């Protein structure tokens, strides 16, 4: 029977990142959330059903978000489903300038600041507590990781990954397909793709990140044993405020 639910959000990738995306989607008003994941062992994620592999988008109505860390998989899956509706998901506690431009399928997480004149491409991840300052341009499928900061007028090509806590000085241009390691500091243009680490950055000679493009892969749902989990009491868990129009 044909599936006619138009108000559904299909999240591809039932990983930790997928759970964060589901949380933001819920805060954005989505109620009918389903996951797709190629790990056939997964049946549920964040309380939502995992219906089957990502190829199921073809038979399912609804908007699609690709919640996969790997930029190249994100790009491939969004291209495969071209013509479908890829919403922009913005956490209510993100601060976005009125004139900032954000592309389809991009997720902006809690505590993030996107300032005036910034442009962010399609299929990007702007991760928790990062900042993208005035007049920056971030290419399609980039990932600005947790706590990374782009000063004013930084330009980054597509499919680049800015590692956690990295800092990019103002007016710096970075080409496509660049990985910046966690804590990297970039003060000059980067014109050659590859992985860069350190303060200020230097190119890594052995570039494993480029070989695997870019970790945080599709099957990143880890089964963790021997760890004692604590339940956070409901009154300690502060939910994001919903922004009103
Ligand atoms: C840069 C990075 C991609 C390299 O990964 P890798 O190719 O697997 O590198 P390895 O872990 O094998 O490390 C190789 C060497 O580089 C060093 N190194 C790795 N990452 C580094 C970093 N961010 N800063 C400084 N040195 C680093 C290691 O200490 C090691 O040095 P050694 O050869 O002297 O022992 C990875 O370490 C990294 O920083 N990833 C970003 C993770 C992140 O920000 N996640 C955010 C998710 S929101």
149 and 181 in one domain? yes
Q: Do 125 and 145 belong together in one domain?
A: yes
Evaluate if residue 223 carries a pLDDT over 60: no
Report yes or no on 215 lying in a domain. no
What mean pLDDT comes out for the span 142-163? 98
CA of 64 to the centre of ligand 1 (A): 32
pLDDT at residue 197 tops 50: yes
Phi and psi at 103, nearest 5°, equal -80, 165
Whether 68 is in a domain gets the answer: yes
143 catalytic? Reply is no
- pLDDT range class, residue 209, cuts 50, 70, 90: low
Cα(181) to ligand 1 centroid in Å equals 6
Bridging pattern class, strands 167-168 and 149-150: parallel
Give the residue, by CA position, lying nearest to ligand 1 atom 18.
197
**Is the pLDDT score of 227 beyond 90?**
no
Q: 116 is in which domain, residue-wise?
A: 89-203
One domain, residues 24 and 94: no
* DSSP three-state, residue 16: helix
pLDDT for res 82: 97
- Candidate list 91, 134, 143, 149, residue with the active-site label: 134
Does the beta carbon of 172 lie inside 6 Å of ligand 1?
A: no
Rg (CA), the chain: 18
Mean of pLDDT values over 132-158: 97
Q: Answer yes or no: is the C-beta of 182 below 6 A from any ligand 1 atom.
A: yes
At 244 the pLDDT is 34
- The pLDDT assigned to 206 comes to 76
Looking at residue 219, its pLDDT comes to: 38
Q: In the prediction, which pLDDT does 129 show?
A: 98
Mean pLDDT of the 97-120 span: 97
Q: Is the CB of 18 under 6 A from ligand 1?
A: no
Q: Name the pairing type of β-strands 185-186 and 131-132.
A: unpaired
Mean pLDDT taken over the chain: 87
Q: The tokens 């004149």 sit on which residue? A: 117
pLDDT at 208: 67
How far apart CA 38 and CA 52 sit, in angstroms, is 7
Task: Please check the confidence at residue 232 and state whether its pLDDT lies above 50.
Answer: no
198 lines ligand 1 (CB under 6 A): yes
At which of 32, 54, 80 does a domain end? 80
């Amino acid at each position: 029977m044909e599936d006619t639910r138009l108000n559904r959000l299909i999240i591809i990738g039932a990983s930790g990142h997928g759970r964060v995306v589901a949380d933001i989607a819920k805060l954005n008003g989505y109620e009918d959330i389903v996951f797709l994941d190629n790990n056939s062992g997964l049946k549920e994620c964040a309380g939502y059903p995992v219906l089957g592999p990502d190829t199921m988008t073809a038979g399912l109505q609804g908007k699609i978000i690709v919640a996969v860390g790997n930029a190249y998989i994100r790009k491939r899956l969004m291209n495969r489903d071209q013509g479908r509706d890829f919403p922009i998901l913005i956490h209510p506690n993100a601060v976005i300038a009125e004139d900032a431009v954000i592309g389809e399928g991009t997720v902006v997480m809690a505590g993030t600041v996107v300032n005036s004149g910034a442009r962010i491409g399609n299929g990007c991840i702007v991760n928790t507590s990062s900042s993208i300052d005035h007049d920056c341009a971030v290419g399609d499928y980039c990932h600005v990781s947790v706590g990374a900061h782009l000063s004013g007028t930084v330009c980054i090509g597509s499919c680049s990954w800015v590692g956690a806590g990295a800092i990019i000085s103002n007016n710096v241009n970075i080409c496509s397909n660049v990985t910046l390691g966690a804590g990297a500091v970039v003060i000059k243009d980067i014109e050659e793709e590859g992985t860069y680490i350190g303060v200020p950055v230097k190119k890594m000679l052995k570039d494993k990140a480029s070989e695997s493009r870019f970790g945080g892969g599709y099957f990143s749902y880890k089964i963790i044993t021997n760890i004692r989990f604590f339940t956070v009491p409901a009154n300690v868990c502060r939910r994001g405020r919903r922004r009103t129009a």
